[in-house]
Amino acid sequence: MSENKIPYKIYLEENEMPTAWYNLRADMKNKPAPLLNPGTGQPLTAEELAPIFCEELVAQELDDTTHYIEIPEDIRNFYKMYRPSPLVRAYCLEEKLQTPAKIYYKFEGNNTSGSHKLNSAIAQAYYAKKQGLKGVTTETGAGQWGTALSMACSYFGLDCKVYMVKVSYEQKPFRREVMRTYGASVVPSPSETTEVGKKILAEHPGTTGSLGCAISEAVEVATKNPGYRYVLGSVLNQVLLHQSVIGLETKAALDKYDIHPDIIIGCAGGGSNLGGLIAPFMGEKLRGEADYRIIAVEPASCPSFTRGTFAYDFCDTGMICPLAKMYTLGSSFIPSANHAGGLRFHGMSTTLSQLYHDGYMEAVSVEQTSVFEAAEQFARIEGILPAPESSHAIRAAIDEAIRCRETGEEKTIVFGLTGTGYFDLVAYQKYNDGEMSDVIPTDEDIAASIAKLPQIG
Amino acid sequence: MSENKIPYKIYLEENEMPTAWYNLRADMKNKPAPLLNPGTGQPLTAEELAPIFCEELVAQELDDTTHYIEIPEDIRNFYKMYRPSPLVRAYCLEEKLQTPAKIYYKFEGNNTSGSHKLNSAIAQAYYAKKQGLKGVTTETGAGQWGTALSMACSYFGLDCKVYMVKVSYEQKPFRREVMRTYGASVVPSPSETTEVGKKILAEHPGTTGSLGCAISEAVEVATKNPGYRYVLGSVLNQVLLHQSVIGLETKAALDKYDIHPDIIIGCAGGGSNLGGLIAPFMGEKLRGEADYRIIAVEPASCPSFTRGTFAYDFCDTGMICPLAKMYTLGSSFIPSANHAGGLRFHGMSTTLSQLYHDGYMEAVSVEQTSVFEAAEQFARIEGILPAPESSHAIRAAIDEAIRCRETGEEKTIVFGLTGTGYFDLVAYQKYNDGEMSDVIPTDEDIAASIAKLPQIG
């Protein structure tokens, strides 16, 4: 092992770091369908989006032709505090699995937000500051996005209000304290602080919340308070744009050592990590310059790609947000309270949905206990305690590596290790105590929420 | 800022990583006093230490003449999974403080143990494995050492039993789960599982525990069970030897950019981080090749350097361990339950004690609330949520940087950022809620425990 020329960790030099984000949509022949105004059914204009989102972010959201968008210097400087993230060669995991496959992972967890979410949070906070806003509102599920946004807002001196999905709020009291340490206020969702929250609580008194419903609350607060805008940590095109820094760094690191991956694997909730990780590789694929197997991994308890439908739907439970054409389980779908961690959004990025629909990528769903089994195995071998979300990708990567052992193929697998599990110990404890189970929605569950889809086009 | 030639983070290449540990004692004219057998009052021999410690670790413990000891390849490979750690230029902190000082920190928190402790844990587990042992026992205070040892034992397939200071066990339930995820068993100390634990509980029924008392329990279990040895995460010479990897990397990174530090700052509990960080710099100082101000920072609630006495004392509360000549508050000293985090050992490394006694380094003590103030400031500016222990060094570094602002001196400050505070959110919550206070031992408190020192030489 010691004679290997490829180091355990590939770090880019500061001057090798990306200076522009890559806008995958510019290379798509079939563009993602536009967001629609739920009132008129017509594509949303920049003017209509301006009361919700910051101006420059609206421009990025709607821009599907510019290939590269320069990263402002202030953001590049912030990136330098915690990036580049390492591309790690999983030598120990390969040896343990006795696989001829070569496994790499891009580790985004070495920052206090604990995940890749900071890449977009700092960009969104920057544009809000540039626009002269007072603050921003958002939702958070597992808490990684909320933490990332708190850090970013603290850096730029912005007020930050976070609606946190109630089940996560209860499972992760310490997440709240990190956000408070960064000066944010955190509200469990659904709450009595918004009209939509009151309505949801009245209809579902015992609800543990959902990302869709926390979004509704955060949007309501942003649009009702002057000087505030709403920001979102996933799903949107702008987020995938910012997260392309993951894929660009990964590709630069691989190119540095002349490594050509065969399979690229990412976990998928709303698509922020997956869309960012695969961006430059998918670009090559779309342009016919290279081919890769690209695999989205989602939880069996919230399987939008593998069991959802490709249609226009609301992005939120309260049905006040724009309509997006995506793979969706229906905006009223709420994953079992048993489900640990993030990846609990009912839909999926429109960009990734279109690419999946057009056959450019695959999707698999994996069950929770097998995900934690992979997580524990990985923690013991590679020394990093992974987030439950990230562990979905670990599961799929291990499965592919075992397949290589069986076929003897020396494939090169790259997966995204989006974050750490330091705030997910309640879930780990359940797993350690043998009390974790898999709750998979029935066909009837999914049919019921899909039946409520809005009737569009 | 963007024109600066020194990057935000200096990473060594894999082939620039240290291949040998540096044994500071070899360059000391006044060697640290030997450990004594508490029964005979005579220096302990390798034979006497063998029932407690692994053979090779005993040899390292007693070796005060060999300058460099090669790092075995298996350990070097494990190091490559999470090392080199970055040497970070705190550009943002400098700007915020408006100081002409240049601030660097060596960040050891980017691994799942959350601290530098893994550097010695993997070495100690390696030697235990090499000796064919079944397992090891240890104590842990804040939990970082226990986590590190769990990870190391899991990697080498060793059984791991951890006695965790009760107050930390209660404040940090999730620490226990990380250790369990790595297959360790964790017992709150004092416990009913040992004779010494039972005795301490009988004498002090409400005790929140201390490191000294957890050590007694772990040693008892190791010596009573065949195939087990005791391992320790600080204080000992062997630990400082392994931790020299921190200082060696720091020095190599500084040399790469021709940076000469003026002040080197580290927090000090038992001395593992401080001893490791300063090792090569202190070596130069001892050899007369360079001069540095070296500052140990300790909590005002457990001030062994600044208010203790330099004398032979027991390393543990149960008085079953060897006697060490060190700065000590007395082995019966227990810091206020109010004190958060580690740095709660009553004594100090014999090596560091001798160096301090001989005037080669300074020491300051800082109060808890001012430490958390520095921690929060640092988190918001540099983006890393620091461990309470590490934040003692941050406090001192900020104070020195402010002094530079006042005098206009462009000093170069290097401090050790030993770890992250992800498992210290109970303490952060107290601080955020304004409920943290400073409890400083009275002169009478300290005199009372020092009065119980054994009468030696």
- Put simply, the answer to whether B8 touches A422 (Cβ < 8 Å) is no
Query: Using 50, 70 and 90 to split pLDDT, how confident is the model at A2?
Result: very low
Q: Is B257 on the interface with A (CB under 8 A)?
A: no
Among the listed residues A248, A264, A196, A263, the one whose alpha carbon sits nearest the alpha carbon of residue A70: A248
Looking at chain B, how many residues does it have? 457
Bond before B299 cis per omega within 30 degrees: no
Q: Which residues contact B199 (CB under 8 A, 6 or more apart)?
A: B318
Q: Is A174 on the interface with B (CB under 8 A)?
A: yes
The single residue listed with the structure tokens 């800022």 is B1
Q: What is the spatial distance between Cα B173 and Cα A425, in angstroms, rounded to a whole number?
A: 9
Q: What is the mean pLDDT of residues A5-9?
A: 93
Q: Give per-residue pLDDT as tens, A33-64.
A: 999 998 899 999 999 999 999 999 999 999 99
Query: Using 50, 70 and 90 to split pLDDT, how confident is the model at A450?
Result: very high
Q: Is A155 on the interface with B (CB under 8 A)?
A: yes
Q: Which residue type does B189 have?
A: S
The single residue listed with the structure tokens 């974050």 is A419
The single residue listed with the structure tokens 């990697």 is B155
Q: What is the spatial distance between Cα A354 and Cα A275, in angstroms, rounded to a whole number?
A: 12
Q: Give per-residue pLDDT as tens, B238-297.
A: 999 999 999 999 999 999 999 999 999 999 999 999 999 999 999 999 999 999 999 999
Q: In this structure, are residues A260 and A336 in contact, taking their beta carbons and an 8 Å threshold?
A: no
Q: Which residues contact A128 (CB under 8 A, 6 or more apart)?
A: A54, A135, A136, A156, A158, A229, A231
Query: Using 50, 70 and 90 to split pLDDT, how confident is the model at B438?
Result: very high
Among the listed residues B303, B143, B310, the one whose alpha carbon sits nearest the alpha carbon of residue B211: B143
Does the pTM surpass 0.90? The reply is yes
Size of interface A-B (CB pairs under 8 A): 125
> Looking at residue B4, what is its pLDDT?
54
Q: Which of A70, A380, A391 to mutate to test the interface with B (most CBs of B within 10 A)?
A: A380
Q: In this structure, are residues A117 and A82 in contact, taking their beta carbons and an 8 Å threshold?
A: no
The structure tokens listed for B176 are 């226990």
Q: Exposed, middle or buried, B100 (CB in 10 Å: 0-12/13-18/19+)?
A: middle
Assign residue B386 a region: left if phi > 0, alpha if psi is -120 to 50, beta otherwise?
beta
Longest pairwise C-alpha distance within chain A: 64
Residues of A within 8 A of B380 (CB-CB) are: 151, 154-155, 181-183
Q: Give per-residue pLDDT as tens, A213-233.
A: 898 999 999 999 999 999 999
Give one DSSP letter per residue of A91-124, joined into a string.
Answer: HHHHHHHT-S-EEEEEE---STT-BTTHHHHHHH
Percent of residues, chain A, with pLDDT higher than 90: 88
- In this structure, of A323-337, B91-105, B179-193, the range with the lowest mean pLDDT score is A323-337
Helix, strand or coil, per DSSP, at residue A179: helix
Q: Is A134 on the interface with B (CB under 8 A)?
A: no
- For residue B3, pLDDT over 50 is answered with no
How close A110 comes to chain B (CA, Å)?
A: 6
The structure tokens listed for B433 are 């809620």
Q: What is the spatial distance between Cα A120 and Cα A115, in angstroms, rounded to a whole number?
A: 11
> Looking at residue B1, what is its pLDDT?
39
- Put simply, the answer to whether B177 touches A81 (Cβ < 8 Å) is no
CB environment A112-146: b (16+ within 10 A), e (fewer)? bbbbbbbbbbbbbbbbbbeeebebbbbbbbbbbbb
Q: How many CB atoms lie within 10 A of CB B394?
A: 31
Bond before A84 cis per omega within 30 degrees: yes
> Looking at residue B52, what is its pLDDT?
93
Among the listed residues A428, A430, A424, A431, the one whose alpha carbon sits nearest the alpha carbon of residue A144: A424
Q: What is the spatial distance between Cα A281 and Cα A417, in angstroms, rounded to a whole number?
A: 17
Q: What is the mean pLDDT of residues B187-196?
A: 95
Q: What is the mean pLDDT of residues B442-447?
A: 96
Q: Which of B119, B160, B385, B390 to mutate to test the interface with A (most CBs of A within 10 A)?
A: B385
User: Which residues between 78 and 117 in chain A have a beta carbon less than 8 angstroms from any beta carbon of chain B?
Assistant: 78, 80-82, 88, 91-92, 110-112, 114
Long-range contacts of B282-287 (CB under 8 A, 24+ apart): B282/B24, B282/B27, B282/B355, B282/B360, B282/B361, B283/B22, B283/B24, B283/B27, B285/B360, B286/B24, B286/B27, B286/B28, B286/B29, B286/B360, B287/B27
How close B7 comes to chain A (CA, Å)?
A: 7
> Looking at residue B457, what is its pLDDT?
56
Distances (CA, A) of B15 to A3, A257, A415, B18, B242: 11, 16, 26, 8, 19
Nearest CA in chain A to B430: A177
Q: What is the mean pLDDT of residues B307-318?
A: 92
Kindly report the average pLDDT of chain B as a whole number: 95
Kindly report the average pLDDT of chain A as a whole number: 95
Q: Give per-residue pLDDT as tens, B108-154.
A: 999 999 999 999 999 999 999 999 999 999 999 889 999 999 999 99
Q: Give per-residue pLDDT as tens, A382-397.
A: 999 999 999 999 999 9
Residues of A within 8 A of B384 (CB-CB) are: 111-112
Long-range contacts of A369-377 (CB under 8 A, 24+ apart): A369/A431, A369/A436, A369/A437, A369/A438, A370/A395, A371/A299, A371/A395, A372/A427, A372/A428, A372/A431, A372/A436, A374/A398, A375/A421, A375/A428, A375/A431, A376/A431, A376/B181, A377/A96
> Looking at residue B87, what is its pLDDT?
98
> Looking at residue B341, what is its pLDDT?
78
Q: What is the spatial distance between Cα B125 and Cα B140, in angstroms, rounded to a whole number?
A: 16
> Looking at residue B450, what is its pLDDT?
96
Main-chain dihedrals φ then ψ at residue B140, nearest 5 degrees: -145, 145
Distances (CA, A) of A338 to A53, A103, A164: 33, 31, 17
> Looking at residue B141, what is its pLDDT?
83
Q: What is the spatial distance between Cα A118 and Cα A78, in angstroms, rounded to a whole number?
A: 10
- For residue A402, pLDDT over 80 is answered with yes
The structure tokens listed for A325 are 């054409």
Our CA angle for B202, B203, B209, nearest 5°, is 90
Q: Which of A88, A177, A257, A381 to mutate to test the interface with B (most CBs of B within 10 A)?
A: A177
> Looking at residue B408, what is its pLDDT?
97
Q: Is B178 on the interface with A (CB under 8 A)?
A: yes
> Looking at residue A457, what is its pLDDT?
56
Query: Using 50, 70 and 90 to split pLDDT, how confident is the model at B99?
Result: very high
ipTM over 0.90? The verdict is: yes
The structure tokens listed for A112 are 């206090």
Nearest CA in chain A to B83: A9
> Looking at residue B2, what is its pLDDT?
40
Q: How many CB atoms lie within 10 A of CB A442?
A: 9
Do the strands B159-165 and B185-189 form a parallel or antiparallel pair, or are they unpaired? parallel
Distances (CA, A) of B56 to A181, A368, A377, B165, B215: 44, 43, 30, 28, 21
Q: How many CB atoms lie within 10 A of CB B437?
A: 11
Residues of B within 8 A of A78 (CB-CB) are: 383
Nearest CA in chain B to A427: B177
The structure tokens listed for A364 are 């698999």
> Looking at residue B380, what is its pLDDT?
96
Q: What is the spatial distance between Cα B98 and Cα B76, in angstroms, rounded to a whole number?
A: 40
- Put simply, the answer to whether B111 touches A384 (Cβ < 8 Å) is yes
